[in-house]
Amino acid sequence: MREIPIEAHPFEDFIDGYFPLDRSLRHLLDRRGFVSAWVTVRVAPMMQVAGLADRDPVPLHITPETEGQIEWLATAIRCEGETTSVSGFAKWHWNEPSRNQCQTLSSEIRLSEPAFVRGFGFVPGTLQTRTLGAVRSAKDTSIVNLVSQETGNKDFLDFADCSFWHMDPSNGFARFHPKFCRRQSESMGLDFDERQEVLAFRSSDDPLDSRILTDSHAF
Amino acid sequence: MISQQLNDRITQVGPNTPAGAVLRCYWQPAALLEELDAPLPVPVNLMGERLVLIRNDNGQLVLATRMSEENEPPVSHPATDRIIVDVDGPSYPIVVKKGVVFAYLGEGEPPEFPNFDCFRADDQHVFAFKGLWECNWLQALEIGIDPAHASFLHRFLEDEDPADSYGKQFRDKVASTDLTMTQVLREYPRPEIDVEETDYGLKITSLRHMDDNHTHVRITNQIFPEAICIPMSREMTITQWHVPIDDHNCYWYTLFTSFKDPVNKALMREQRLKEHDLPTYAPKKNRHNHYGYDPEEQETATYTGMGMDINVHDQWAVEGMGAIQDRTREHLGRSDKAIIRYRRMLRQAIDALEKGDRSALPMQDNLQVKNIIGPLSNDAVAATGDWSAICHQADLQRRASCPWDASI
């Protein structure tokens, strides 16, 4: 029975607003020397202005129809060279009700103001993952563990009080559904397809770890 | 920048508003005890409601509703014989603490008071005062949790003799050094800011790294939902609420708390009455007289040219934004960390309360709230690598020699 523990560095930080969100998250990785990270955002106002090119500055003035709010967002972000990829989950709303039917949120939306974030960062290593890139595995146990078809027997998940995140390494944020995160291993069955990986978070008594897990579970 | 819709959501506090519901979960300063020296009933304008302090049939002091005209000015203070109690309107419980009449305008049971230093200190060691600002409560609060602004807005080009500093902010020496606060703020204007969420709100640490491998550490606090606790001098702290009168006006209520000698209340009141008019506690310097702006003073003595009272500087800055700051045009930056985290807390609290989860708000668990003490609030200078321990030690030393029980 084994899991693959990943060396995880808990952090609290601020990301800039105004830039496309994936770029602000990329700045966070670069600043901290991470190759990838699990990042949570809560109650953050956001904007999406029609016709605003990637490198354009935000307008000086925001209007209600361009604004929404991320109620909760949890995402894995990884960088490979100049490429930045995110795969995550979110709950959000736009002020304009017709926009709320969409089940995905672009990673290029912009936060309307800088945001406080919490998460775990991962440093470069030799453990190849689809969700987090090539990261360093932990020598002993870790709060963050990788589960995939390649990691072996599916019944190794014998630890209790854990949350399991089904990651689909495609770009953007999916509107959260309970199937994406399960809290108990025995009931989940781990029926993921070949594309998917599962990130398993153990519970922790460490205050910072706990705050990150609280935000992660605040869906 | 946020939309008008979201700005309304976090600034409006009348009955049945989201932010108003959050503020109503806490005891709110409603009047100074000294206002009750006048004959009852005493008018109160609080959170968009027209109220009056009266004694009920049991002889208890309560905050009742009073009749008012639609066009009554926000800070109206009608004469006693013109006040009519609205017997059909709500009536709220009050508690008097340290010279302030606190009222609870919310539903259900009011929370306990935390054991903050300002509430634990002997009455002789606490002085209360208030002042009017003609702007929304949120911008008044936000300036108080911005540690960078003091280096600019409150920049004094000359340092005063600390011996003359009693009752004034930023004029004292820093800890055991010969540096004055004004000098530190002036010479090190770019603090490194760290913000930590606590069980009462936010602990804000500002580090000003000095030239000689020493660091000036200033610990201030945001006390949820709309108060701050900051150091005033080596001897005193300021605990200050920004209490909405309505959406366009607010009062600051301050408890000045001394860790050393009893407060010279007569002197502190006299200092402040020179700057304020009764019975509304409106500042004598205001937009109508350009806050006393003097270009010559600005050239030689202060950054603003608006005198030595830093309250006037803050008043000008927050009133200058307009009655309610237009946040559709603001651009917060890195030094606004505490504001960013505070708004996150406020938005979270609003969302939680709308879902019926009051327990998610800070200081609502009565078993825990009595155990909240402090908060740590001081200035210290320490070797750069050792600042955290030195700051804590300085706080413990001050508490150990305090004549009232300030132990933590």
Task: Return the DSSP state at B334.
Answer: G
Average pLDDT over residues B96-115: 96
**Identity of the residue in B2, B197, B341 whose CB atom sits nearest the CB atom of A67:** B2
pLDDT reported for residue B212 = 85
Contact between B5 and A67 using a beta-carbon 8 Å cutoff:
yes
Q: Which residues of B touch A64 (CB under 8 A)?
A: 3-5
Could you read off the pLDDT of A35-89 as tens digits, one per residue? 999 999 999 999 999 889 988 998 888 888 899 999 999 999 999 998 999 989 9
- Could you tell me the CA-to-CA distances from A9 to A39, A118, A201, A202 in Å, in that order? 12, 11, 13, 14
Tell me the per-residue pLDDT of B160-201, one tens digit each, with 9 for 90 and over.
Answer: 777 777 777 777 888 778 888 899 999 999 999 999 999 999
- Give how far Cα B396 sits from Cα of A171, B369, B377, B401, Å: 52, 22, 11, 9
Pairwise CA distance, residues B283 & A97, whole Å = 45
Any idea how long chain B is?
408
* Distance in angstroms (rounded) separating the CA atoms of residues B152 and B279: 32
Contact state of A42 with B6 under an 8 Å Cβ cutoff: no
pLDDT in tens, B34-63: 999 999 999 999 999 999 999 998 999 999
Interface of B with A in 9-38 (CB under 8 A): none
ipTM: 0.86
B334 vs A114: CB contact, 8 Å cut-off? Answer: yes
- 8 A C-beta contact, residue B19 and residue B9: yes
Q: Does B6 touch chain A (CB under 8 A)?
A: yes
Across the interface, of A17, A60, A67, the residue whose CB is closest to B6 is A67
Q: What is the pLDDT of residue A133?
A: 94
CA distance B249 to chain A (A): 25
Helix (H, G, I), strand (E, B) or coil at B388: helix
Q: Are B380 and B217 in contact (CB under 8 A)?
A: yes
d(CA A74, CA A89): 5
Q: What is the mean pLDDT of chain B?
A: 94
Q: What is residue A191's predicted lDDT score, i.e. its pLDDT?
A: 57
Inter-chain CB proximity A62 and B2 less than 8 Å:
yes
Three-class SS state of B211:
coil
Check if the beta carbon of residue A45 is closer than 8 Å to that of residue A112.
yes
B132 touches B160 (CB < 8 A): no
A46 to chain B: closest CA residue: B2
Tell me the C-alpha distance between B146 and B336, whole Å: 6
Q: For residue B64, give every residue at least 6 positions away whose Cβ sits within 8 Å of its Cβ, in sequence order, or none.
A: B41, B51, B52, B53, B54, B56, B85, B86, B89, B91, B92
pLDDT tens, A147-191? 876 654 454 455 567 888 888 877 789 999 888 888 765 445 555
| pLDDT above 90 coverage of chain B, percent | 84
Q: Which residue of B has its CA nearest to A61?
A: B329
Inter-chain touch A115–B351, beta carbons under 8 Å: no
Q: Read off the pLDDT of residues A105-149 as tens digits, 9 standing for 90 and up.
A: 999 999 999 999 999 999 999 999 989 999 999 998 899 999 876
- From B129, B134, B167, B137, select the one nearest B276 (Cα to Cα): B129
Interatomic CA distance for residues A68 and B306, integer angstroms: 40
A18, A57 contact by CB (below 8 A): yes
| Contacting residues of B for A58, CB less than 8 Å apart | 1
Is-contact B55 B91, C-beta < 8 A? Answer: no
Residue B215 has what pLDDT?
94
Query: Chain A 27-56, CB below 8 Å of chain B: which residues?
Result: 42-45
**What local confidence, expressed as pLDDT, does residue B178 receive?**
83
Tell me the average pLDDT across B334-354: 95
pLDDT at B230 over 90: yes
Residue labelled with tokens 């603001």:
B330
How much is the average pLDDT of B106-121? 96
What is the pLDDT, as a whole number, of residue A153?
A: 45
Q: Which of A63, A113, A211 sits opposite B340 (nearest CB)?
A: A113
Rounded Cα gap, residues A38 and A129, in angstroms:
14
Instruction: Find out whether B283 and B315 touch, Cβ atoms under 8 Å.
Output: yes
**Mean pLDDT value across residues B90-101:** 97
Closest partner residue to A112 (CB to CB) among B1, B4, B333 is B1
Per DSSP, the three-state class of B123 is helix
Query: Between the CA atoms of B203, B169, B241 and B351, what dihedral angle is there, to the nearest 10 degrees?
Result: -30
Q: Give pLDDT, residue B369.
A: 94
What pLDDT does residue A156 have? 45
What torsion, rounded to 10 degrees, do the Cα atoms A122, A123, A126, A129 define? 30
Name every chain A residue with its beta carbon within 8 A of the beta carbon of B195.
116
Q: Please report residues of A whose CB lies closer than 8 A to that of B5.
A: 64, 67, 95
Burial of B71 (0-12, 13-18, 19+ CB in 10 A): exposed
Q: What is the pLDDT of residue A184?
A: 65
Average pLDDT over residues B69-97: 94
Chain A: nearest CA to B3, how far in angstroms? 5
From B8, which residue of chain A is nearest by alpha-carbon distance?
Answer: A64
A residues 80-139 near B, CB within 8 Å?
95, 112-116
For position A192, what pLDDT does the model report? 55
Cβ–Cβ below 8 Å for B344 and A115: yes
Higher per-residue confidence, A155 vs B140: B140
Q: Give the model's pLDDT for residue B164.
A: 76
| Inter-chain residue contact A63 with B341, CB threshold 8 Å | no
In contact, B258 and B250? CB cutoff 8 Å: no
**What digits encode the pLDDT tens for the residues B272-301?**
999 999 999 999 999 999 999 999 999 999
Contact B224, B363 (CB under 8 A): yes
- Angle between the B310-319 and B137-144 helix axes, to the nearest 10 degrees? 130
Instruction: Judge whether B192 is closer than 8 Å to chain A, CB to CB.
Output: no
Question: What is the SS3 assignment for A144?
Answer: strand
